[in-house]
Each structure stands twice: as C-alpha cells, then as structure tokens.
Structure 1
C-alpha cells in the first residue's frame, strides 16, 4: 500500500519503519527542518554539548520490547534522573524522600518514624481527593505541599492547583528512604548519539521517503491508501470547532564555563521566581566532558496559535471539545490519529513507541483480514 505518515517524530518513525519492513511504500512529511519532533537533539557548535532543543527527554520504561527496540537503533547509556529543587532559600531532592523530609523539618527520622510523621501532617478530612490540591494535602500535608508543589504547579499549569485533577499528582512518588532517583522503571538511559540520530536510523529504509519543511494538506489524503497523522487532532480539521488548549514552553538559553548548577534539572518552587526550572544539558550525557555548558531557563504559558504545543490541558472544557473532535475523526475515512498531538494526551516516550508498534501491527492485521482500520488505535477518551 501507499502510506503517508504526517510527522517525523517517534510515532511517525516507528510506524513508518514497521510498515516499510512489511513491504509497504511509506512517505513521511514534517513541517520542521529536522526529524525527531520535540525529542530533537543537536550538538552545540561552540561547546560541543548535546542539547535537547525542545527541552530534556529522559528515556525510562518497564517495557522490555520497547527498550530493545530503541537500542536496536542507538546505543543507550545508563542514566538516572535526579531532580533538585530550590525552595525557600534551600536546595532539596525530589521526589520527596527521607532526606527531603529530614532536611526540611530539621529532623533525623528513620523510615518508620518518617511515615508516621507525614501521616500525622496529612489532612485526614479529605477522604476522596478530587483536585491536585486535595491530593497533595492528603498525601504530604500543607507544609510540603506549599514548599514543593503549589508554586511550581501554578507556574507550570497557569491555574490554581485546586482546579487541576488529582491524577496529575498521583504520578509523583513519596519515598521513605534515601532513594532520590526520579523514575522507578527498570530500564533507564540516554541515547549516546542523541534522539535525532536514533530516529534518523529508524527512518533510514529504502521503503521510506522523508520530506522535511513540508506541511501536509488534509485535502491530499485521498492520494494515499492510509494516513497516520501525529499532528494536532484539531489542526486536521482546520480548528473548525475551536482550539484544544495546550501549555507551551519558552526557553531562555544561556551558556557558561565549567559547571553552572551541578545537576541536570533544578526546579524552582517559589512562586516569585518566574521560571519553573533550569536544565543544564551537559549533565544529560555524563560520559562526556566539556569545558563549556548550555543551560535553559523554562517558562510555561498558555499556547497561542503559532506556538509549539507541549502539554494538553484536558480540563472540563477541553475534554468536552475533544469529544466533539473525536466524533469528527471517527467519521473521517482513511486516517488514523496517533501520538501526543493526534490523541491529545500526555505520553512518555516509551508509551508513544509502544502505541506506535501496536498501531502498526493492528494496521497490518486489518490489511491482512480486510477489516477497517479505526481512526484511533487508542481512543483518547
């Protein structure tokens, strides 16, 4: 078949590779001048540092097949994400762990003592947390919530934590030991040559034709047997029902010599600091040595029409609008919507790859049995 992939990020690269290896003719188009989407990495010409151009991406998964898949195209070096946060004039480790608790409260608690101590601080009047704020107060109590979560969340999401769902905080662990690694997955690492090199290898197949600086017009979809669209769901329909809400990021890039902050990620929880965090990119490749350093200050705000969308908001109004777009999509023939933008969901890289593999396999099964491929392999709602 003649297949079109809109977007040369992880979704497009994985689906394209799987279908090309199955014998289909694959065309990949992307409006940007590089492959990799928001995972794009490139060497800084002055310092030699591998820069995560659209913000850092750290690979972590429990999915052995996905881990094997990415290592097929690029060697992954061990990397454990350890996040620090500056709050109230001091530096702490995140996620909240035994060291954070003892340091913040000036204590020397053992694990069982800390568990009892935090449970005493928790708000037990909250029996069914519905909001981010409810979950935090029930989870860690007011002091830790206001120091580490409240201000950062207000800056990141542009609204009060009481207006956000509890599910956002449920992803953040609380540890009663000194483990300060951010992720608990068994496979964690960074691609030695960067994500762009990895994705370029995925797309390096005689059955795949890549066109960069190329915007796709949905009116051309009929020229292909199937289109897989990893761009914005509402964008496919010309935003006819309105725009789905996203948060975007502005990056203030600066360079220095030596080691600027001593870690890869430093969050800033105080509300009077305008940026959410500073990332120092040389620390994402600790096996390399560089005299200079490249850092980003990150600022979060509501995405405008011309901005790169990063985080789907998915509050009540957005979910209602999403339902209308899903209905339009399911009434549209010849296209399957995939990935973060195509399904309007926040997806980690490993989940994106897993869903792309599953989508490609579902398409091949449908083609073999004469069944219709749905608009969503993983329905957004």
Structure 2
C-alpha cells in the first residue's frame, strides 16, 4: 500500500521503517531542509563540536525493546546528565539531592537527618492542586523559591499556581549524593549524533524522503493512509484556533576552552532572563575540542512562526484540544502521532515506543480489515 508520513522526526522515521519492512511503499515529507525534527544534530564547521541544533536531547529509557531498537541503528556512548544551577551567586547540583540540601542550608546531614529536616519544612498540603502547592509539599518554601519558582516562571511565562501539579511530579528528590538527573537503566548519546541515527532508520529501498516540502491536507493526494506528526491544529489549518505552546529562543555563542565546566547550567534567579546555558561539547565527552559552542536559552510564548516545543495544556487549551480530537476522529484515513500530533510532552523513548505500537496497530488493522483509529495514543 502507499503510505504518506508527514514529518521526518523520530515518529515518522520509526513508523516509516516498520511499514517499509512490512512491504509497503512509504513517502515521508518534511518542511525543514533536514531530517530529525527537533532532534537534529550537526557538526559545527569551525570547532568540530556536535551541536544539538534545537536544544539538547539526552536518551534515557527503561524500555528494553526501545533500547534494542536504537542500538540496532547507532552506537550509543554512556552519558549521565549532571545538571548544575546558579542561584544567588552560588552553584548547586540538580536534581535536589543530599549535596544540594547540605550546601544550601550549610549543614552536614546524613540521609535520615536530611529526610527529617525536609519533612519538617514541607507544608502540609494533602492534595496539591497546582505546581506551587506540589513544590511546597515536596521540598518546602526555601528550596522551592530557590530552585523552582523563578525558573518555572521563566520557562512557562506564568505564575506557578496556574500550572498543574503533575509537572513537578516528574522531578526526583534524592537523599543521597546521586546527581544523575535521570534514573533509567539505559542512558546515552548516539556517537554520531541523532541525525545519523535517524538517517539509518530511514535507509530502506522503499522509503522516499522529500525535504523542504509541505503537505496540505486539503489537496492531499491519493494515499492509502496518512500519518501526521505535525501540529494537530495545523492539520485543520487552525480553524478552531491555535493550541498554546511555549517556544525556545537560542542565543548561540562560541568560546575557547571550557566555558562553564558542564553541559547544562540552569539559572534559577528570576532576574536572570535566560533559563539555562548549554555547552554542547560536553554532550560528547568522548570527543576533544579546543573551541566550544554554547546556547543561552530563553522561553517565550510560541507565535505562528515559532517552533512549538512545550504544549501548555492548561484549561483553555484542553477545552480546545477536546474539540480538535473530535474533529480528528471524524477524519478518515489519517492517524495523528508524536508530541505535536497528540499535543503531549514526550521523551524520545516514549516517542519511539508509541511509533512502534502505532505501526503495529496499522498492520493489525489491515490484516483484520478494520479501521485505523485517529489516535493510537489518546491526547487526553
């Protein structure tokens, strides 16, 4: 059958490869001049540094199947994400761990002492209703205002009390000296970058990739099925209004030697406009480079011409999302996939898992003679 996939990022590449291996002809379109979506990496010609063009992506997963899948197409080097944060003129370790707590409060507590110490400062909020309440119940006011409040206001452009508690629930709090940001079994970076990984996934004789090419659903073409990984509202030409996103702006600069001594330095103070600085050669610690490429990163509300990064998903957006879901479910012959197509924040491993499951669902429906759903993974 003839399959059209819109978007040459992880979702489109994985679905395309699975269907191609099942014998179907796959055409993948992408409006950008490169594959990889926001995972796109490229060598800086002056320094040789592998640059994460749309901000850093660190692979981490407990999903054995996903790990086996990506390592089939690329060699992964071990990588631990150790984030630092500059707050009040001092540098601390994130996520909040025993070193952070002892340094911040000027103490030398053991794990059990620190646990009791934080429990005394945590506020008694049995069912936190928003980000701030969750943080106060989690770590207390001092740590919240130092490491979470200002950063969150800059990242999301609103009062933390307007954000759901679920955003904070993903962040760990440790009462030991483990400063590895993630806790998954498999963590690493593709040695040759993410674009090379995705290129190998796309390297199949019945996959055709067309870059610098947009797709208009209104004048689509004769395809047996379409997989859309672009913005859900964009498929319908935003006819109900635009779903809200935050975007990222990057101020790129270079330096000689080691500029900040780590890959990611957060800035928690509200009066510092940027949220973090990333130094990209530290994402490839197995390489050595004299020069350095850095991004000073700020967050803003996404306009029509901006790249959407983080779905806002507050009350107004969820109401609009419900209407777009109904519209999508009434549209035959198209399945919406990925973080933009389902308007969800997804880590890379989840994106790949959902793409594999989506491809298998389509193959199963073809065998059974049933209709393919608009969403294999529900947006709400």
Measured on the aligned residues, the alpha-carbon RMSD in Å equals 0.5
Find out whether 1:98 has 2:69 as its counterpart: no
1:146 counterpart SS class: helix
Partner in structure 2 of residue 202 of structure 1: 201
Find out whether 1:293 has 2:292 as its counterpart: yes
In 2, Cα distance between equivalents of 1:50 and 1:344: 29
Partner in structure 2 of residue 6 of structure 1: 6
Which runs of structure 1 show a deviation greater than 6 angstroms over 4 or more consecutive aligned residues?
Answer: none
Q: CA deviation at 1:307?
A: 0.4
Partner in structure 1 of residue 58 of structure 2: 58
Q: Are 1:221 and 1:334, in contact at CA under 8 Å, matched by a contact in 2?
A: no
Partner in structure 2 of residue 233 of structure 1: 232
Partner in structure 1 of residue 261 of structure 2: 262
In 2, Cα distance between equivalents of 1:236 and 1:103: 50
1:23-49 deviation line (CA, Å, top 9, x unaligned)? 000000000000000000000000000
In 2, Cα distance between equivalents of 1:86 and 1:346: 26
Partner in structure 1 of residue 110 of structure 2: 110
1:271-318 deviation line (CA, Å, top 9, x unaligned)? 000000000000000000000000000010000000000000000000
In 1, Cα distance between equivalents of 2:138 and 2:14: 38
Partner in structure 2 of residue 377 of structure 1: 376
In 2, Cα distance between equivalents of 1:371 and 1:379: 19
Find out whether 1:349 has 2:342 as its counterpart: no
Partner in structure 2 of residue 359 of structure 1: 358
In 1, Cα distance between equivalents of 2:239 and 2:179: 46
- Which structure 2 segments of 5+ residues have no match? none
Partner in structure 2 of residue 215 of structure 1: 214
Partner in structure 2 of residue 88 of structure 1: 88
Partner in structure 2 of residue 33 of structure 1: 33
Q: How does 1:148-227 map to 2 (within 5 A)?
A: 148-227=147-226
In 2, Cα distance between equivalents of 1:313 and 1:240: 19
1:56-113 deviation line (CA, Å, top 9, x unaligned)? 0000000001001001111000000000000011000000000000000000000000
- State how many pairs are aligned: 380
Q: Are 1:221 and 1:227, in contact at CA under 8 Å, matched by a contact in 2?
A: no
1:134-192 deviation line (CA, Å, top 9, x unaligned)? 00001100000000000000000000001100000000010000000000000000000
Partner in structure 1 of residue 270 of structure 2: 271
Q: Are 1:337 and 1:343, in contact at CA under 8 Å, matched by a contact in 2?
A: yes
Q: CA deviation at 1:127?
A: 1.3
Q: CA deviation at 1:219?
A: 2.1
- Which structure 1 segments of 5+ residues have no match? none
In 2, Cα distance between equivalents of 1:131 and 1:229: 32
In 1, Cα distance between equivalents of 2:126 and 2:234: 40
2:218 counterpart SS class: helix
Q: CA deviation at 1:220?
A: 3.6
1:226-266 deviation line (CA, Å, top 9, x unaligned)? 00000000000000000000000000000000000000000
Find out whether 1:69 has 2:69 as its counterpart: yes
Partner in structure 2 of residue 242 of structure 1: 241
In 2, Cα distance between equivalents of 1:181 and 1:350: 18
In 2, Cα distance between equivalents of 1:122 and 1:51: 40
Q: Are 1:222 and 1:334, in contact at CA under 8 Å, matched by a contact in 2?
A: no
Q: CA deviation at 1:222?
A: 4.6
Partner in structure 2 of residue 308 of structure 1: 307
